Homo-oligomer: A and B are copies of this chain.
Amino acid sequence: MTLAIAPTGLICVGTFIDAPTHEALRVRVDHLCVIDGKGRIVLLQPLPAGTTEDADKIRTLVAEEYRSFEVLVMKEWEFMCPGMVDCHNHAPQYHQIGTATDYTLFNWLFNVTFPNEAKCRDLDYARDLYTKLVRRLLRSGTTSVQFFATNDLEPTKLLVDICAEHGLRAFVGLVTADRDSPDYYIQTTSEALSLTESFIQWTLAHPAGRDALGEQDALIHPVITPRFVPTCTLPLLHGLGALAAKYDVRVQSHAAETVDQVLRVKALHPAIGGGRDVAIFESCALLTHRTTLAHGTHLRDYEVRRMAEVGAAVTACPIANVLHSRAVVPAPRYKALGLKLGLGTDIAGGYSASMLGPLRMAVVDDRTDSFVEVVREDRPLEDYPDPDPKTEWPVGHVWAYHIATVGGAEALGIAEHSGTFDVGKHFDAVLVDGNREDQAYEYWPEETKAIRFERWINTGDDRNVKGVWVRGTRVIWKK
């Protein structure tokens, strides 16, 4: 079993690649990075010319207090990049990943998903499932995840324990639903509220939680989690809003996801802001600077602007959005309106456990958002419009990687700690080996580091992930 090893200090030498903005990659070759015993980057600077790869000589370059640290010298074909942030992941749905991709939302929930979630009441089943998921996420290079668990307390606590045990930075929500759900998988309003409060208290007091470690260093965070408006009565939503204020914790839900969901919400609450998710959440004090709403493909500009004002975020789930919503998040449009934007696997609405899947699909989603006109009918021949004068598309792998790291960190309120390599931040990092036996693509020694990064993003996978650190703690290591 993979178990997190507490940070003991690390001196790391080689290439560091991150995307502090969406416009350009920052590639720092021949750099020296020191991560202290609290898992924070305390030094990151170019190596002096002529530095050898000898560990003892490298130790002479750092302050006395760091000289006992482990030294990691990256190979020519290795580089370090920030761990990815998965802002939307339904842990209990992991069992169905890669299947049932052809359902519309409500059919998918009632026929496939709710039965799967309820199975987690069997704690042996849940332990096996959640352990496999958490290991899978870490070895894929994901270092922070926001989870929907289930309606039940014990399996949700179990998920927290498993995340803490494996060293995954996790935002975990006990899901609430007191209407429009099957008999076997529904709470009363008071149950939903008391379970939520119990879970918040228990998680804040967890050895990896806020009460024990402080907000800056907490590994585990509780999240208030109404599934979505259709399955929550207004009294429940108001009660959850009160809990969000009482404990000052994060909120997550779904919003503006599919046409059938948008229409159902409108029919349920026509009097609140025209029956729109964002207005309903705001009316219940659930739209705060700590709120993340998944999907948001059907948001209107005024809603995006309002969310941006409040400091709330949207999680784009590019695979699930296309498969189940037949729609996309227009990422540049939302970013231009000032919205915080993260990326999610949406397991199991999306079929990729690795963030590389949504990352690639975010690029595709952008390209599909403004298809050129295609004339298919047998009308008299017509001209096409003048082609776009652009020579490159604006949303590429750097844009998407920025959203998958910095964007996700902003969305979850951890941008001070994660997303890039900068002094003062936690070391949330992935060591990518671009030259592993049996990897999914070829290694060409003559290529630049930036090309190696691009190739891994577009054609690589978890086989290239050699090591992963969360808060300076090594959580994955392959020989």
Give me the interface of A with B, judged by CB distance under 8 Å. 94-95, 97-99, 101-104, 107, 132, 136, 258-260, 262-263, 266, 274, 276, 297-302, 319, 322-323, 326-328, 330, 333, 351-354, 360-361, 363-364, 367-368, 370-372, 374-378, 381, 383-388, 390-393, 396-397, 438, 440-442, 444, 451, 454-463
8 Å CB contact of A377 from B301, B352, B360, B376: B301
Residues of B within 8 A of A326 (CB): 367-368, 370-372, 393
8 Å CB contact of A352 from B301, B396, B459: B459
Interchain nearest-CB distance for A243 vs B (Å): 30
Interchain nearest-CB distance for A228 vs B (Å): 16
* Docked pose: A333 CA to B460 CA in angstroms: 33
Given contacts A333-B376, A371-B327, contact A102 B392 (CB under 8 A): yes
Among residues of B, the one whose C-beta sits closest to the C-beta of A370 is B326
8 Å CB contact of A374 from B99, B298, B322: B298
B104 and A391 form a contact (CB under 8 A): yes
Given contacts A322-B368, A327-B371, A377-B300, contact A101 B397 (CB under 8 A): yes
A376 and B300 form a contact (CB under 8 A): yes
Most interface-central of A319, A353, A372 (chain B CB within 10 A): A372
Residues of B within 8 A of A299 (CB): 376
* Docked pose: A6 CA to B385 CA in angstroms: 54
Among residues of B, the one whose C-beta sits closest to the C-beta of A380 is B274
Most interface-central of A95, A276, A376, A463 (chain B CB within 10 A): A376
* Docked pose: A102 CA to B352 CA in angstroms: 23
Interchain nearest-CB distance for A192 vs B (Å): 28
* Docked pose: A456 CA to B97 CA in angstroms: 10
* Docked pose: A390 CA to B105 CA in angstroms: 11
B459 and A391 form a contact (CB under 8 A): no
Residues of B within 8 A of A328 (CB): 368, 371
* Docked pose: A322 CA to B385 CA in angstroms: 18
Among residues of B, the one whose C-beta sits closest to the C-beta of A460 is B98
Residues of B within 8 A of A459 (CB): 97-98, 351-353
* Docked pose: A459 CA to B140 CA in angstroms: 13
8 Å CB contact of A461 from B259, B322, B353, B461: B461
For this complex, 30 residue pairs linking A to B, each with C-beta atoms less than 8 Å apart, are A98-B441, A98-B454, A98-B458, A98-B460, A101-B363, A101-B458, A102-B392, A102-B393, A103-B391, A104-B388, A104-B392, A107-B391, A107-B392, A132-B442, A259-B385, A260-B387, A274-B381, A299-B376, A301-B378, A322-B368, A323-B364, A323-B367, A326-B368, A326-B370, A327-B371, A330-B376, A353-B440, A361-B364, A364-B364, A440-B462
Residues of B within 8 A of A99 (CB): 451, 454-455, 458
Most interface-central of A102, A377, A457, A463 (chain B CB within 10 A): A102
* Docked pose: A386 CA to B259 CA in angstroms: 8
Residues of B within 8 A of A276 (CB): 381
A384 and B263 form a contact (CB under 8 A): yes
B376 and A97 form a contact (CB under 8 A): no
Residues of B within 8 A of A381 (CB): 274, 276
Known: A298-B384, A319-B364. 5 other contacts (CB 8 A): A98-B458, A298-B374, A326-B393, A328-B371, A354-B440
